[in-house]
């Protein structure tokens, strides 16, 4: 028997607009979602998460439509709108253009970080969850449920039962297809693509997988996976340095991290304003420069250096810091 208990939940959405200066006729839209429920925790419920959840707005998604108008991308606005876009503040939400490519009258603002014009990946076997998460990971978690847990999940509603049945009946070749897709390599390897073969649903790529077999020359060497840059024994283009604001950065240089707005890693917001040490300056196959750093104060910095697992930023995402004054005696410049 399934017993359902519900609690009252009240919310409000407030929309305000503010005209922006200039000849473009643009407006800054502020959308505020607030929980106005009357519930307050009792003496025994203070700090109790289970008591607060039934009265909480969890993962609220805001879908905004603008008939006869258009939204501007927050990640890649036109040049004239960049100053205004930089001053917009998004708290616990991420706004993206939610309609198909070439249209911009619908915006989705949600706790899930997506690119503009997101689509469900062609590899997705069905409407798993909210169709915006990583299907492979969630499918594996669902498959790991016990039979009793699956029965309980099926009993909640028809939607949950559909998801359980979809995962239970998923063939191995379909699950394998969820493991990863790097679409950019298909132009190089000659792998055929279809008109519907688009999407953002990339999952974790197996680092031990074999490299593409045709059309792409990659460095090889014993004891290293094909993707490891350490296989390439040639010197890095540019001598392992990069010039930022007139200062040459290389291994050991100190920088201030300023992640750009186009980055999609939610953890980057915690790195803004942190100082870091440059471990290497690398160049990828496309000629793009990447600055590998370790964050100052990171207790796992020794492990990162040993394994070569650094954080990477573009040159325009770091600000050089002044080099510390050298000790003259230690540098052979005199002294006692």
> E-strand spans in 44-156?
62-65, 94-97, 106-110
Q: Has residue 259 got a pLDDT over 50? A: yes
> Mapping DSSP to helix (H, G, I), strand (E, B) and coil, where does residue 183 land?
helix
Per-residue pLDDT, 264: 57
Q: Are strands 318-320 and 289-295 parallel, antiparallel or unpaired?
A: unpaired
CB 92 within 8 A of CB 31: no
Q: CB neighbours of 241 closer than 8 A, spacing ≥ 6? A: 248, 249, 250, 281
Of 60 and 334, the structure prediction assigns the larger pLDDT to 60
* pLDDT more than 90, % of the chain: 23
Domain spans of the chain, in order of start: 25-38+56-114, 119-234, 236-320
CATH code of 236-320, in short, is 2.30.30.140
Q: Has residue 64 got a pLDDT over 70? A: yes
Residue with tokens 């299907």: 135
What pTM, to 2 d.p., does this model score?
A: 0.48
45-80 core/surface letters (b: 16 or more CB in 10 A; e: else) = eeeeeeeeeebeeeebeeebeeeeeebbbbbebeee
Per-residue pLDDT, 154: 86
Confidence category of residue 73, pLDDT binned at 50, 70, 90 = very high
Burial classification of residue 225, based on how many CB atoms lie within 10 Å of its CB (0-12 exposed, 13-18 middle, 19 or more buried): middle
CA dist 283 and 218 (Å) reads: 14
> Mapping DSSP to helix (H, G, I), strand (E, B) and coil, where does residue 282 land?
strand
């Amino acid at each position: 028997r399934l017993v359902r208990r519900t609690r009252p939940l009240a919310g409000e959405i407030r929309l305000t607009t503010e005209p922006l200066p200039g000849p473009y006729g643009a407006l800054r839209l502020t959308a505020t979602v607030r929980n106005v429920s009357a519930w307050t925790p009792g003496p025994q419920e203070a700090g109790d998460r289970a008591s607060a959840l039934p009265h909480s707005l969890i993962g609220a998604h805001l879908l905004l439509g603008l008939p006869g108008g258009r939204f501007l991308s927050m990640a890649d606005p036109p040049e004239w709108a960049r100053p205004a876009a930089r001053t917009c503040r998004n708290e616990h939400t991420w706004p993206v253009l939610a309609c198909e490519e070439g249209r911009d009258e619908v915006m989705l603002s949600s706790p899930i970080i997506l690119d503009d014009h997101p689509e469900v990946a062609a590899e997705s076997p069905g409407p798993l969850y909210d169709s915006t998460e990583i299907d492979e990971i969630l499918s594996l978690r669902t498959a790991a449920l016990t039979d009793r847990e699956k029965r309980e999940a099926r009993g909640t509603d028809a939607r949950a039962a559909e998801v359980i049945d979809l995962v239970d009946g998923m063939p191995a070749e379909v699950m394998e297809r969820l493991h990863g897709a790097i679409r950019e390599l298909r132009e190089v390897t000659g792998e055929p693509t279809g008109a519907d073969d688009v999407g953002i649903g990339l999952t974790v790529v197996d680092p031990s997988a074999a490299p593409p077999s045709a059309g792409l020359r990659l460095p090889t060497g014993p004891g290293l996976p094909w993707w490891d840059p350490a296989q390439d024994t040639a010197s890095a283009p540019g001598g392992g340095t990069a010039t930022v604001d007139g200062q040459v950065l290389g291994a050991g240089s100190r920088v201030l991290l300023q992640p750009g707005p186009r980055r999609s890693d939610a953890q980057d917001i915690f790195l803004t304003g942190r100082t870091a040490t440059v471990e290497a300056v690398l160049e990828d196959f496309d000629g793009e420069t990447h600055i590998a750093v370790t964050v100052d104060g990171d207790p796992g910095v020794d492990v990162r250096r040993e394994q070569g697992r650094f954080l990477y930023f573009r040159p325009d995402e770091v600000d050089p810091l002044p080099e510390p004054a050298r000790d003259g005696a230690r540098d052979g410049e005199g002294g006692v």
